A = this chain, B = another copy of it.
Amino acid sequence: MSFEVTILGSSSATPIYQRHPTAQVLQVHERFFLVDCGEGTLIQLNRYQIKFHRINHIFISHLHGDHYLGLMGLLSTMHLQGRKTELHVFGPAALWEIIEVQLRHSQTELRYPIRFQAVNPDVPTVLYEDETLRVTTILLSHRIPCTGFLFEEQPKPRKIIKDKLAEYAIPLESYASLKAGEDLVLEDGRVVLNAELTTAPPPTRRYAYCSDTIYDERLVDIVKGVDLLYHESTFLHELADRAAETFHSTARQAATIAKKSGVKRLIIGHFSARYKSLYPLLEEAKEVFDNTTLAMEGDRFSIEG
Protein backbone atom coordinates (compact mmCIF):
# COMPACT_ATOMS: atom_id res chain seq x y z
CA MET A 1 0.00 0.00 0.00
CA SER A 2 1.46 3.35 -1.02
CA PHE A 3 2.20 6.08 1.48
CA GLU A 4 3.72 8.92 -0.48
CA VAL A 5 4.15 12.67 -0.14
CA THR A 6 4.44 14.84 -3.28
CA ILE A 7 5.79 18.37 -2.91
CA LEU A 8 3.82 20.91 -4.96
CA GLY A 9 5.43 24.04 -3.56
CA SER A 10 7.89 25.02 -0.88
CA SER A 11 8.41 28.75 -1.13
CA SER A 12 7.52 31.00 1.76
CA ALA A 13 5.31 34.03 1.32
CA THR A 14 7.03 35.45 -1.75
CA PRO A 15 7.02 33.07 -4.71
CA ILE A 16 10.25 33.63 -6.58
CA TYR A 17 12.65 31.79 -8.87
CA GLN A 18 9.56 29.98 -10.18
CA ARG A 19 9.10 28.37 -6.76
CA HIS A 20 5.50 28.03 -5.62
CA PRO A 21 4.15 28.55 -2.11
CA THR A 22 3.41 25.65 0.21
CA ALA A 23 1.26 22.70 -0.88
CA GLN A 24 1.69 18.95 -0.68
CA VAL A 25 -0.31 15.87 -1.51
CA LEU A 26 -0.20 12.76 0.65
CA GLN A 27 -1.36 9.65 -1.13
CA VAL A 28 -2.27 6.73 1.11
CA HIS A 29 -3.31 3.81 -1.02
CA GLU A 30 -6.06 5.23 -3.22
CA ARG A 31 -6.79 8.27 -1.07
CA PHE A 32 -5.38 11.74 -1.76
CA PHE A 33 -5.01 14.30 1.01
CA LEU A 34 -4.08 17.88 0.13
CA VAL A 35 -2.00 19.57 2.81
CA ASP A 36 -2.00 23.36 2.52
CA CYS A 37 -2.92 24.97 -0.76
CA GLY A 38 -0.82 27.99 -1.72
CA GLU A 39 -1.51 30.03 -4.82
CA GLY A 40 -0.98 27.98 -7.97
CA THR A 41 -1.70 24.59 -6.37
CA LEU A 42 -4.12 23.65 -9.14
CA ILE A 43 -1.59 24.31 -11.86
CA GLN A 44 1.00 22.35 -9.87
CA LEU A 45 -1.39 19.41 -9.51
CA ASN A 46 -1.81 19.46 -13.29
CA ARG A 47 1.94 19.74 -13.79
CA TYR A 48 2.63 16.66 -11.67
CA GLN A 49 -0.34 14.77 -13.09
CA ILE A 50 -2.25 14.37 -9.87
CA LYS A 51 -5.97 14.25 -10.64
CA PHE A 52 -7.50 16.91 -8.42
CA HIS A 53 -10.92 15.30 -8.53
CA ARG A 54 -9.51 12.45 -6.46
CA ILE A 55 -8.79 14.77 -3.55
CA ASN A 56 -11.56 14.45 -0.97
CA HIS A 57 -9.80 15.95 2.06
CA ILE A 58 -7.97 19.26 2.33
CA PHE A 59 -6.08 20.38 5.42
CA ILE A 60 -5.14 24.06 5.81
CA SER A 61 -2.60 24.86 8.53
CA HIS A 62 -3.24 28.59 8.93
CA LEU A 63 -4.48 31.74 7.23
CA HIS A 64 -1.30 33.26 5.88
CA GLY A 65 -1.87 33.55 2.16
CA ASP A 66 1.02 31.34 1.10
CA HIS A 67 -0.81 28.40 2.70
CA TYR A 68 -4.36 28.82 1.40
CA LEU A 69 -4.68 31.27 -1.51
CA GLY A 70 -4.94 28.46 -4.06
CA LEU A 71 -8.01 27.01 -2.37
CA MET A 72 -10.75 29.13 -4.01
CA GLY A 73 -9.43 28.37 -7.49
CA LEU A 74 -9.38 24.67 -6.71
CA LEU A 75 -12.90 24.66 -5.24
CA SER A 76 -14.18 26.64 -8.20
CA THR A 77 -12.54 24.38 -10.78
CA MET A 78 -13.89 21.26 -9.05
CA HIS A 79 -17.32 22.87 -9.39
CA LEU A 80 -16.88 23.76 -13.06
CA GLN A 81 -15.61 20.28 -13.84
CA GLY A 82 -18.84 18.81 -12.49
CA ARG A 83 -17.70 17.35 -9.18
CA LYS A 84 -20.51 15.78 -7.16
CA THR A 85 -18.49 14.08 -4.42
CA GLU A 86 -18.46 15.58 -0.97
CA LEU A 87 -15.29 17.49 -0.12
CA HIS A 88 -13.94 17.76 3.42
CA VAL A 89 -12.02 20.91 4.31
CA PHE A 90 -10.27 21.32 7.64
CA GLY A 91 -8.82 24.67 8.69
CA PRO A 92 -9.12 27.70 10.96
CA ALA A 93 -12.73 28.74 11.58
CA ALA A 94 -12.31 31.98 9.63
CA LEU A 95 -11.42 30.05 6.48
CA TRP A 96 -15.10 29.32 6.02
CA GLU A 97 -15.89 33.04 6.13
CA ILE A 98 -13.25 33.63 3.45
CA ILE A 99 -14.66 30.88 1.24
CA GLU A 100 -18.26 31.91 1.78
CA VAL A 101 -17.80 35.60 0.95
CA GLN A 102 -16.10 34.71 -2.32
CA LEU A 103 -18.71 32.14 -3.34
CA ARG A 104 -21.41 34.69 -2.57
CA HIS A 105 -19.92 37.50 -4.64
CA SER A 106 -19.17 35.26 -7.60
CA GLN A 107 -22.76 33.98 -7.28
CA THR A 108 -21.48 30.42 -7.22
CA GLU A 109 -23.52 27.60 -5.76
CA LEU A 110 -21.16 24.68 -5.65
CA ARG A 111 -22.50 21.53 -7.28
CA TYR A 112 -20.92 19.38 -4.57
CA PRO A 113 -21.24 19.54 -0.79
CA ILE A 114 -18.39 20.92 1.28
CA ARG A 115 -18.08 19.67 4.83
CA PHE A 116 -16.02 22.28 6.60
CA GLN A 117 -14.57 21.47 10.00
CA ALA A 118 -13.04 24.30 12.00
CA VAL A 119 -9.77 23.23 13.60
CA ASN A 120 -9.20 24.12 17.23
CA PRO A 121 -5.66 25.54 17.34
CA ASP A 122 -5.36 24.95 21.10
CA VAL A 123 -6.30 21.28 21.55
CA PRO A 124 -4.81 18.34 19.64
CA THR A 125 -7.72 16.77 17.78
CA VAL A 126 -8.36 13.73 15.61
CA LEU A 127 -9.68 15.27 12.40
CA TYR A 128 -10.05 12.19 10.28
CA GLU A 129 -10.08 8.46 10.80
CA ASP A 130 -10.79 5.49 8.60
CA GLU A 131 -9.71 1.86 8.60
CA THR A 132 -6.20 2.69 7.40
CA LEU A 133 -5.38 6.22 8.50
CA ARG A 134 -5.78 8.70 11.28
CA VAL A 135 -5.05 12.43 11.02
CA THR A 136 -4.41 14.45 14.19
CA THR A 137 -3.54 18.12 14.59
CA ILE A 138 -0.11 19.16 15.82
CA LEU A 139 -0.18 22.43 17.76
CA LEU A 140 2.33 24.92 16.35
CA SER A 141 3.47 28.27 17.63
CA HIS A 142 3.29 30.91 14.91
CA ARG A 143 2.22 34.57 14.64
CA ILE A 144 -1.39 33.55 14.05
CA PRO A 145 -3.19 30.31 15.06
CA CYS A 146 -1.54 27.44 13.20
CA THR A 147 -1.59 23.66 13.32
CA GLY A 148 0.42 20.96 11.64
CA PHE A 149 -0.94 17.51 10.89
CA LEU A 150 0.18 14.03 11.88
CA PHE A 151 -0.79 11.30 9.43
CA GLU A 152 -0.59 7.84 11.02
CA GLU A 153 -1.51 4.50 9.67
CA GLN A 154 -3.87 2.56 11.89
CA PRO A 155 -2.32 -0.38 13.74
CA LYS A 156 -2.13 -3.33 11.38
CA PRO A 157 -3.16 -6.92 12.24
CA ARG A 158 -0.56 -9.42 13.49
CA LYS A 159 0.50 -12.05 10.96
CA ILE A 160 -0.40 -15.70 11.58
CA ILE A 161 2.56 -18.07 11.15
CA LYS A 162 1.54 -20.43 8.33
CA ASP A 163 3.00 -23.58 9.86
CA LYS A 164 0.88 -23.09 12.96
CA LEU A 165 -2.35 -23.25 10.98
CA ALA A 166 -1.86 -26.98 10.32
CA GLU A 167 -0.12 -27.72 13.61
CA TYR A 168 -3.12 -26.56 15.66
CA ALA A 169 -5.79 -27.04 12.93
CA ILE A 170 -6.79 -23.46 13.45
CA PRO A 171 -10.32 -22.85 12.15
CA LEU A 172 -10.99 -19.98 9.77
CA GLU A 173 -13.24 -18.20 12.27
CA SER A 174 -10.31 -17.75 14.66
CA TYR A 175 -8.13 -15.83 12.22
CA ALA A 176 -9.54 -12.42 13.08
CA SER A 177 -9.07 -12.80 16.84
CA LEU A 178 -5.52 -14.12 16.36
CA LYS A 179 -4.64 -11.17 14.10
CA ALA A 180 -6.05 -8.90 16.78
CA GLY A 181 -3.63 -10.40 19.31
CA GLU A 182 -5.90 -12.80 21.23
CA ASP A 183 -4.74 -16.22 22.43
CA LEU A 184 -6.11 -19.42 20.91
CA VAL A 185 -8.34 -21.70 23.00
CA LEU A 186 -8.21 -25.29 21.66
CA GLU A 187 -11.21 -27.64 21.71
CA ASP A 188 -9.75 -29.46 24.69
CA GLY A 189 -9.52 -26.20 26.61
CA ARG A 190 -5.77 -25.73 26.32
CA VAL A 191 -4.63 -22.14 25.64
CA VAL A 192 -1.92 -21.35 23.08
CA LEU A 193 -0.41 -17.93 23.56
CA ASN A 194 -0.80 -15.54 20.65
CA ALA A 195 2.95 -14.91 20.60
CA GLU A 196 3.51 -18.53 19.54
CA LEU A 197 1.09 -18.29 16.62
CA THR A 198 1.69 -14.84 15.14
CA THR A 199 4.40 -12.37 14.36
CA ALA A 200 4.25 -8.66 15.05
CA PRO A 201 2.51 -6.54 12.39
CA PRO A 202 4.54 -4.34 10.07
CA PRO A 203 5.15 -0.98 11.71
CA THR A 204 2.58 1.75 11.07
CA ARG A 205 3.90 4.51 8.90
CA ARG A 206 3.76 8.10 10.11
CA TYR A 207 4.22 11.46 8.44
CA ALA A 208 4.36 14.67 10.46
CA TYR A 209 3.76 17.98 8.69
CA CYS A 210 4.93 21.01 10.65
CA SER A 211 4.29 24.13 8.62
CA ASP A 212 5.10 27.57 9.99
CA THR A 213 6.46 27.41 13.52
CA ILE A 214 9.00 28.96 15.79
CA TYR A 215 11.61 26.51 17.18
CA ASP A 216 9.56 24.62 19.73
CA GLU A 217 10.94 21.63 21.63
CA ARG A 218 7.43 20.58 22.59
CA LEU A 219 7.31 19.11 19.08
CA VAL A 220 9.97 16.51 19.96
CA ASP A 221 7.59 14.22 21.84
CA ILE A 222 4.80 14.64 19.31
CA VAL A 223 6.80 13.66 16.23
CA LYS A 224 9.03 11.15 18.03
CA GLY A 225 10.25 8.45 15.68
CA VAL A 226 8.08 9.30 12.67
CA ASP A 227 9.19 7.94 9.32
CA LEU A 228 9.08 11.34 7.70
CA LEU A 229 9.07 14.81 9.21
CA TYR A 230 8.41 17.95 7.20
CA HIS A 231 9.60 20.93 9.22
CA GLU A 232 9.73 24.46 7.95
CA SER A 233 13.14 26.00 7.57
CA THR A 234 12.63 29.56 6.43
CA PHE A 235 16.08 30.92 7.31
CA LEU A 236 19.72 30.06 7.78
CA HIS A 237 20.77 30.09 11.42
CA GLU A 238 22.69 33.33 10.99
CA LEU A 239 19.18 34.85 10.91
CA ALA A 240 17.99 33.05 14.06
CA ASP A 241 16.86 36.36 15.56
CA ARG A 242 14.78 37.14 12.51
CA ALA A 243 13.34 33.61 12.67
CA ALA A 244 12.30 34.04 16.29
CA GLU A 245 10.87 37.48 15.62
CA THR A 246 8.67 36.17 12.77
CA PHE A 247 7.87 32.85 14.52
CA HIS A 248 9.77 30.83 11.94
CA SER A 249 12.63 28.32 12.20
CA THR A 250 16.14 27.99 10.84
CA ALA A 251 17.54 24.97 9.02
CA ARG A 252 19.63 24.11 12.06
CA GLN A 253 16.58 24.29 14.31
CA ALA A 254 14.51 22.05 12.02
CA ALA A 255 17.33 19.50 12.03
CA THR A 256 17.62 19.75 15.81
CA ILE A 257 13.96 18.82 16.20
CA ALA A 258 14.52 15.92 13.79
CA LYS A 259 17.54 14.71 15.73
CA LYS A 260 16.01 15.04 19.19
CA SER A 261 12.87 13.22 18.12
CA GLY A 262 14.76 10.45 16.33
CA VAL A 263 12.78 10.68 13.09
CA LYS A 264 13.94 8.60 10.16
CA ARG A 265 14.01 11.33 7.55
CA LEU A 266 13.61 15.11 7.47
CA ILE A 267 12.29 17.31 4.66
CA ILE A 268 12.89 21.04 5.00
CA GLY A 269 10.91 23.69 3.13
CA HIS A 270 9.18 27.11 3.25
CA PHE A 271 12.30 28.81 2.02
CA SER A 272 12.69 32.57 2.28
CA ALA A 273 12.80 34.49 -0.99
CA ARG A 274 16.27 35.70 -0.02
CA TYR A 275 17.79 32.30 -0.85
CA LYS A 276 18.24 31.77 -4.55
CA SER A 277 20.34 28.67 -3.92
CA LEU A 278 18.89 26.36 -1.28
CA TYR A 279 22.00 24.26 -0.74
CA PRO A 280 23.33 26.33 2.17
CA LEU A 281 20.08 25.52 4.00
CA LEU A 282 20.50 21.84 3.21
CA GLU A 283 24.14 21.84 4.31
CA GLU A 284 23.31 23.56 7.57
CA ALA A 285 20.59 21.03 8.38
CA LYS A 286 22.76 18.06 7.44
CA GLU A 287 25.42 19.14 9.94
CA VAL A 288 22.89 18.31 12.65
CA PHE A 289 20.76 15.62 11.00
CA ASP A 290 22.24 13.89 7.99
CA ASN A 291 19.14 12.34 6.46
CA THR A 292 17.70 15.67 5.38
CA THR A 293 16.28 16.54 1.96
CA LEU A 294 15.10 19.81 0.42
CA ALA A 295 11.41 19.99 -0.45
CA MET A 296 11.72 20.47 -4.20
CA GLU A 297 8.65 20.80 -6.40
CA GLY A 298 7.67 17.52 -7.94
CA ASP A 299 9.74 15.44 -5.52
CA ARG A 300 7.99 12.38 -4.13
CA PHE A 301 8.80 10.84 -0.76
CA SER A 302 7.59 7.32 -0.39
CA ILE A 303 7.55 5.42 2.89
CA GLU A 304 7.84 1.69 2.33
CA GLY A 305 5.25 -0.41 4.12
Contact present for B43 and A18 (CB under 8 Å):
yes
A65 at the interface (CB under 8 A from B): yes
Q: Is the CB of B39 within 8 A of A42?
A: yes
Is A20 among interface residues, defined by CB-CB distance under 8 A?
yes
Give chain A's interface residue range (CB within 8 Å of chain B): 35 or more
Contacting B at CB under 8 A, from A18-42, are 18, 20-21, 39-40, 42
A16 and chain B: residue at smallest CB distance: B46
How many copies of this protein are present in the complex? 2
Question: Can you list, as one digit per residue, whether each of A92-129 has a CB less than 8 Å from chain B (1) or not (0)?
Answer: 10110110011001110000000000000000000000
A1-20 to B contact mask, C-beta < 8 Å, 1/0: 00000000000011111101
- What residues of B have a CB within 8 angstroms of the CB of A15 in the complex? 42-43, 46, 73, 77
- The answer to whether A144 has its CB under 8 Å from any CB of chain B is yes
- Chain B residue nearest to A15 (CB atoms) is B43
Q: Which residue of B lies closest to A73 (CB)?
A: B39
Does B101 lie within 8 Å of A98, measured CB to CB? yes
Which A residues between 26 and 85 are near B, CB-CB below 8 angstroms?
Answer: 39-40, 42-43, 46-47, 63-66, 69-70, 72-73, 76-77, 80-81
- A40-B40, A43-B15, A80-B13 known; A94 vs B98 contact (CB < 8 Å): no
Which residue of B66, B98, B105, B106 is within 8 Å of A105 (Cβ)?
A: B98
Tell whether, in the assembled complex, residue B107 and residue A98 are in contact, meaning their CB atoms are under 8 Å apart. Answer: no
User: In chain B, what residue has the closest Cβ to A71?
Assistant: B69
Q: CB of A156 within 8 A of chain B?
A: no
B residues in contact with A72, CB < 8 Å: 65, 69
A212 to chain B, nearest CB (A): 12
Which chain B residue has the least Cβ–Cβ distance from A38? B73
Q: Which of B47, B63, B94 contacts A18 (CB 8 A)?
A: B47
Residues of A at the B interface (CB closer than 8 Å) are 13-18, 20-21, 39-40, 42-43, 46-47, 63-66, 69-70, 72-73, 76-77, 80-81, 92, 94-95, 97-98, 101-102, 105-107, 143-144
